[in-house]
Amino acid sequence: MSIGTFLQKDSYMSNSSRSLISGFVGGLAGSAVKSLIEQFLPVREVDQRSAQIKIVDDLSTKITGTPISTENEALAEQLVNIPVGGSLGAAYGYGKKDRLGLRPMDGVIFGATTWASTHETSLPILGLEPKPTDVPIKMQLNELFAHIAFGVTTELVRHYMEKQFRE
């Protein structure tokens, strides 16, 4: 049996695989859109390093003994954004495996909860970002907007991919 035939079947494994793949690709696209938006809307102070850069910098220091160079910070940030976005998208896609149809509001909710569970809670608790009360409201809204765009893009691409697999 070919992969195409497998993905078109209506079995638990086929449905799960379609949903995971569709969500993963959607999450990658959502991450790209979020990163693009963040190029135009500031989400942190100019001198503030992102949580992603802090994570990769710490890892680099532990492995090589030296932090990442300033020239490689943009690449380092994407080395975290891409797999995290893809993984979140895959989980989202799997959660929607039994819900056919395009639901942009689900993407809005997905993006907003991703923002709330990272930038408003876990990242400040881990010391990777300042407390929400220390971040200007405009930057918080920019970050929320970028995450909502991530969620909606993930839903649009997930739906498109799912539809293509079924046809």
Domain map (residue ranges) of the chain: 11-45+78-166
Q: Mean pLDDT of all residues in the chain?
A: 90
Given a cut of 60, whether residue 1 has pLDDT beyond it is no
For residue 26, give both structure tokens.
């959607």
pTM passes above 0.85: yes
Given a cut of 90, whether residue 50 has pLDDT beyond it is no
Tell me the pLDDT tens digit for each residue of 4-37. Answer: 655 666 777 778 888 999 999 999 999 999 999 9
Per the CB < 8 A criterion, the answer to whether 154 and 110 are in contact is: yes
Distance separating alpha carbons of residues 22 and 16, to the nearest angstrom: 10
Give, rounded to a whole angstrom, the gap between the first and last alpha carbons of the chain: 17
Share of the chain above pLDDT 90, in %: 60
- Other Cβ atoms less than 10 A from the Cβ of 84: the count is 15
> Residue 142: its pLDDT value, please?
96
